[in-house]
Amino acid sequence: MNKYLSIIALATLANWDCEAQPNTVVPRLVVSITVDQLNSDDMEQFVSLYGHTGFKKLLKEGTVYENARFDFSPLDLASAITAVGTGASPVDNGIPAKKWLSRENLRPVQCTFDKRFFVSPNQIKSSTIADQLKLATNGSGLVYSVAADCDAAVLQGGHAADGAFWIDQGTQGWRTSAFYPKQAQTWLNAYQRTVIDNDLQNGQNQRVSKLAIDCVNDHAMGRDGISDLLLVTLSAKAHTPNNSKETTEAVYRDLDNNLSDLIEKIEYKVGKENVVFIVTGTGYVEARNEDYEKYNIPSGTFYINRTASLLNMYLNAIYGENRIVDGAYHNEIYLNKTLLERKRISLSKVLTDAREFLVQSSGVKEVYTADQLLFDNNLSRNIKNAYHHNINGDILIKVAPGWKIYNEETKEEYIPSSSFIPFPIIIYGAGVKAQNVSVPVTTDRIAPTIARLIRIRAPNACVVLPLP
């Protein structure tokens, strides 16, 4: 009897071991596609109009994590793209937004600005999954990044990409940066000479998809035993103010066609058994300037520059110093910490006084100070994760729903976007089984999932497990 029990026990253990093993297929190429402002509701609404090799193929043959989310808010394209690539939130990766106020000159600075190269990924403060591939392969694994938007292309490519390519919003031609190897510019120049006549007539998603496919072909990505990584950003944003069903339908049918092109042509060139595609969204949609007043919906305008001036006067009355407030950008106020330190004025006390003053302003729902965001463990992780103390302001103002923020000095309008947008994470390709997973998951798990697929380490700020 004991003999038979032992056999059964061994068989059971063996079965458990098999089930616990990760996918044994190591793809030669991973294609990571991020769709800016992808909305699951819109994607599913037009599913009957899609072909069979785009969204339908992904949803039918892939692992679909139906309820994805980011672990921080607010979001924009730059912060979302960087979070996916680093497997970490802005508190660790250093990219909380597309722009922020430079403490050096009190002017807005782009997240990809570089004094030497003009554009580079050097402001990312942690490694990305692309960087880890370069480290693991001693530079042999190829990494290329393609997007219509400069920030998206540069940020998702990481610090060590072989090339990042984007569309110049002025000339509409393709661009790269001197930060990348000279071969990237040489290849791009040759590419533009061959496609320029037809390329400019196509939509941005189509242009991005075509360059990405040609990048795979021309650089022989996925052709040897060393895994390569292609990073692509598409967009589900309508380029007209019209938000009609017809406009949305056109956007998603276009997306479907371009996903189909990417999947079919890359599978044909690399082999279906050698490639894995990962598709996700950015978790937000750009807020529109709605006419709430017309329909008696509570709304208003919060004037950040006036508020900053009043706050400065208030703090001057308390501390006898005139330049405690350095500046304001979007919903953030920056204090003159150098002055406070020189005058030996407690920053924590100033922040407390400032918060007590600002919460009384019309349209203000909440005020967060740097001390709260750094040290208050009772504060939501979603808010704390979005804050980087060396980059963001010292005071963050959250306005009431329906309110917008306006700076009369710079003429900039900021409309916070905090509505929940449903979007998925889809993994399709070699060794991936078809299944739907309804358990909520976070996007920071994409990077360690790619790492597991190609047998490398996750990015150095990533502390989460791969997707189940």
If we measure between CA atoms, which residue out of 196, 227, 262, 206 comes closest to residue 33?
262
| Same-domain status, 253 and 273 | yes
Cis peptide before 74, with omega less than 30 degrees from 0? yes
Token pair belonging to 50: 């899609």
Residue 108 CA to residue 117 CA, distance in Å, equals: 18
| Spans in the chain with pLDDT lower than 70 | 1-24, 196-198, 240-242, 418
CATH number at residue 51: 3.40.720.10
- Distances in Å between the Cα of 349 and the Cα atoms of 73, 314, 336 are 27, 13, 14
* Domain contains 14: no
Token pair belonging to 392: 């963001």
Owning domain of residue 58: 29-286+418-454
Structural contact between residues 162 and 176, judged by C-beta atoms closer than 8 angstroms: no
Helices and strands (H and E) in the chain: how many: 16, 21
Structural contact between residues 33 and 213, judged by C-beta atoms closer than 8 angstroms: no
| Same-domain status, 310 and 190 | no
| Same-domain status, 240 and 162 | yes
State the CB neighbour count (10 A cutoff) for residue 466.
17
| Same-domain status, 267 and 149 | yes
State the CB neighbour count (10 A cutoff) for residue 21.
8
| Same-domain status, 149 and 222 | yes
| Same-domain status, 305 and 272 | no
| Same-domain status, 424 and 399 | no
What is the phi-psi region of residue 464: left when phi exceeds 0, alpha when psi lies from -120 to 50, beta otherwise? beta
pTM: 0.92
Residue 449 CA to residue 355 CA, distance in Å, equals: 41
If we measure between CA atoms, which residue out of 53, 41, 461 comes closest to residue 266?
53
pLDDT of 239: 73
* Domain contains 247: yes
Residue 75 CA to residue 38 CA, distance in Å, equals: 13
* Domain contains 139: yes
pLDDT of 4: 38
Per-residue pLDDT tens over the stretch 389-417 = 999 999 999 999 999 999 999 999 999 87
| Same-domain status, 270 and 308 | no
| Same-domain status, 351 and 448 | no
Q: How many structural domains comprise the chain?
A: 2
| Same-domain status, 41 and 136 | yes
